[in-house]
Homo-oligomer: A and B are copies of this chain.
Amino acid sequence: MATATPAATSTVDLGPAAALSCRECGTRFPLGPSFACLECFGPLEIAYDYSDHGAAELRARIEAGPASIWRYAPLLPVPADVATKPNLNPGWTPLVEADRLGKELGFTARLHVKDDSGNPTHSFKDRVVACAIEAARAFDFTTLSCSSTGNLAGAVGAAAARAGLRSCVFIPHDLEHAKIVMAAVYGGDLVGIEGNYDDVNRFCSELIGDPAGEGWGFVNVNLRPYYGEGSKTLAFEICEQLGWRLPEQIVIPIASGSQLTKIDKGLRELIELGLVEDRPYRIFGAQATGCSPVAEAFKAGRDVIRPVKPDTIAKSLAIGNPADGPYVLDIARRTGGAVEDVTDAEVVEAIRLLARTEGIFAETAGGVTIGVLKKLVESGQLDPDKETVAINTGDGLKTLDAAAGAGLTAVIRPSLESFRAAGLV
């Protein structure tokens, strides 16, 4: 299933990206706007042909690079001069030493929170969209598009605006007004579809095969192999920020499962390139109980994901039939990790726990991750004596309702007497 408009690929400069390769059967295809194997319909990934520089040289080159994901340009499907093009320059977000949270959860080893809310549109989506834009430019696409329920719509709108590309984003027409404003403010076209997210997705697939979609790059469909590689930069940054060292345990939220599988891919690439020492690491996946098909399969020892109808406040993780679910199961089992889930009440509690201990206000997906971290420690599945990283993928300002229980401690008159009576001193 190649797309309707494969560009000429021999002249494409996407840095070290050499070909597309099927994750299932290994068949290789030239670089182009394709996402599924023509032989077996498996998902396509980027295959690289790295320049022959040693690990020391590569490391020095990265460390001298910009404070964004483009410091890893030699390891991404982007041209070498990517940092000079107009783009949002996402990434290089803080790895926070979460000592106070760690203490509260009983850690004796160091706990870190990789806080991706510092990205330009305040979610990790800026990383993947930035990579997709380079592919869109390489394939001469003039319109950037996606189906979305929120974070991705804003990330695409903002990135297209900076790059000077047209954008046309498709969302369910009945999204909350605030989310529509966040996505519409960048001035691209924002089209509401009368239907749910599945209907939006189906429509986008139709549009890709139609002349009306010619010249359109759908970041999460026909540009998906390039887009997905952006998530690897989370792995790269975590290891570099630890001093070029693998963490022992990582907790990652699961929507489609793509981020978790790409972080694992990124860690393995760093090992292969000699940038970090090879040693065991364990990967844990986090879901909301109201949309936990991967956690269910993991706990039941199944290899097959049974799709569910999502019902959770963690909307950005609410994918009932996650495409990369089976790969997530493989990785969790291979690395000695686990997949766990928490209720919406636990998500809210975790958002406030992280805010109270570390001053980080996470969106619901971050609450899922921290809630699962807590549950994994309590159940003995994750070892608090090993160095651990938990990923906060987005910002609490985007899911303000989840924190709506936080309010005033007291209301007083503007007098010392009234203040003393409130019992705060």
Contacts and interface: CB of A to CB of B under 8 A. Distances in A.
Interface of A: 67, 86, 88-89, 92, 94, 97, 99-100, 118, 120-122, 154, 157-162, 164, 168, 173, 177-178, 180-182, 184-187, 189-195, 199-200, 202-203, 206-207, 210, 212, 351-352, 355-361, 395-398, 400, 403-404, 406-416, 419-420, 422, 424-425
Given A118-B118, A212-B419, A359-B162, A191 B406 contact: no
A410 B186 contact: no
A422 B187 contact: no
A361 B182 contact: yes
Contacts of A180: 406-408
Given A67-B92, A191-B409, A397 B161 contact: no
Contact of A192 (B157, B206, B410): B410
23 contacts: A67-B92, A100-B162, A120-B359, A120-B360, A158-B360, A161-B355, A162-B358, A177-B404, A180-B406, A180-B407, A181-B407, A185-B355, A185-B403, A186-B359, A189-B410, A190-B409, A191-B410, A192-B408, A192-B412, A193-B412, A203-B415, A212-B416, A212-B425
Given A182-B397, A356-B161, A406-B184, A191 B412 contact: yes
Given A120-B360, A168-B424, 13 more contacts: A100-B161, A100-B162, A158-B359, A159-B359, A161-B359, A162-B358, A162-B359, A181-B407, A184-B409, A185-B403, A191-B411, A206-B416, A397-B397
Contacts of A121: 359, 361
The number of times this chain is found in the oligomer is 2
A272 to B, nearest CB: 28
B409 A189 contact: yes
Contacts of A120: 94, 118, 359-360
A411 B194 contact: yes
B186 A361 contact: yes
Given A194-B412, A212-B425, A424-B168, A356 B178 contact: no
Name the residue among A88, A157, A210, A406 with the largest chain B CB count within 10 angstroms: A406
Contact of A181 (B118, B189, B404, B409): B404
Contacts of A185: 351-352, 355, 361, 396, 403, 406
A35 to B, nearest CB: 20
B194 A408 contact: no
A367 to B, nearest CB: 11
Task: List the 10 closest pairs (A to B, CB-CB), nearest first.
Answer: A187-B356, A158-B359, A184-B406, A162-B359, A161-B359, A203-B414, A192-B411, A397-B397, A189-B409, A199-B414
A377 to B, nearest CB: 21
A413 B195 CA distance: 7
A354 B209 CA distance: 34
Given A94-B89, A162-B359, A358-B161, A190 B408 contact: yes
